[in-house]
Amino acid sequence: MKSDFNIPARPHAFPMDIEHCALLIIDMQNDFLMEDGGCPRLLGLSLADLAPVRAIIPRISRVLDWARASGLTIIFTREAVEPDLSDLTLSKDIRYKNAGYPVGSPGPMGRLLVKGEFGTQIIEEFVPEESDIVIDKPAQSVFIGTNLEALLKEKGISHLLFTGVTTQCCILATYRQGNDLGFFGLLLEDCCAAFSPQEHAAAVDVIISEGGAVGWSTTSEQLITSAESC
């Protein structure tokens, strides 16, 4: 198998380097994916409403199996602030109150988006292994308030695969900052979702915009098929 190969992607082929690549699985946590999780509960979403975000679970599982077999670094993230809310900015505090899900508000899965609560644990379908990296992040972009950039540079990682929720919120924020910092980011669009399919589509449109100046998007099928045919 070659370590460098092109993956069909929009709007241009993605120059893959599998030996220097990490898989990001962003915020696949109970507070976003479970019917009793903080966000669905506070937004009044039913299990049917969660279909778009839950549909990506088996697809990410397949990519995760492939990534483990291919030796990629695996990084799980969780949106979670300190219990004393010391790393919750006033801007985010107000925005999440506006959205109807105040950070730190109590619920059956604990305080919303707070470290150590059941709601901020990764959904049971994914079990991080000892060699995986798990990052708690206070902001939407995983690069803010964490050691992600230093960690990637230390490991010599230049290429990032993006999966998780929600596409236009934490995925897009991290994707944009990653490419801007010089990483090669590839969105796996069938492994990302939002509560609203329209909001997911807007984020994909941004990533493939301006003829490729922003980034690259493909599917998990294209990724795995391309890797296997090398």
Residues with a catalytic annotation lie at 27, 137, 170
The reply on whether position 95 binds its own copies by CB under 8 A is yes
Question: DSSP state, 169?
Answer: I
The reply on whether position 135 binds its own copies by CB under 8 A is no
Nearest to 80 by CA among 58, 104, 63, 98: 104
Determine if residue 113 is left, alpha or beta; phi over 0 gives left, psi from -120 to 50 gives alpha, anything else beta.
left
* Rounded Cα gap, residues 74 and 65, in angstroms: 10
Work out the burial of residue 90: count CB atoms within 10 Å of its CB; fewer than 13 is exposed, 13-18 middle, 19 or more buried: exposed
Which span sits near its own copies by CB under 8 A: 9-17, 22-30, 49-57, 221-229? 9-17
Binds its own copies (CB under 8 A): choice among 177, 217, 219, 222:
177
The reply on whether position 46 binds its own copies by CB under 8 A is no
Residue that is written with structure tokens 């990764």 in the block: 122
Which span sits near its own copies by CB under 8 A: 46-54, 60-68, 69-77, 170-178? 170-178
Sites of contact with its own copies (CB under 8 A): 11-12, 15, 43, 89-92, 94-96, 98-101, 139-141, 144, 166, 168-169, 172-173, 176-177, 179-184, 194-196, 198-199, 202-203, 205-206, 209-215
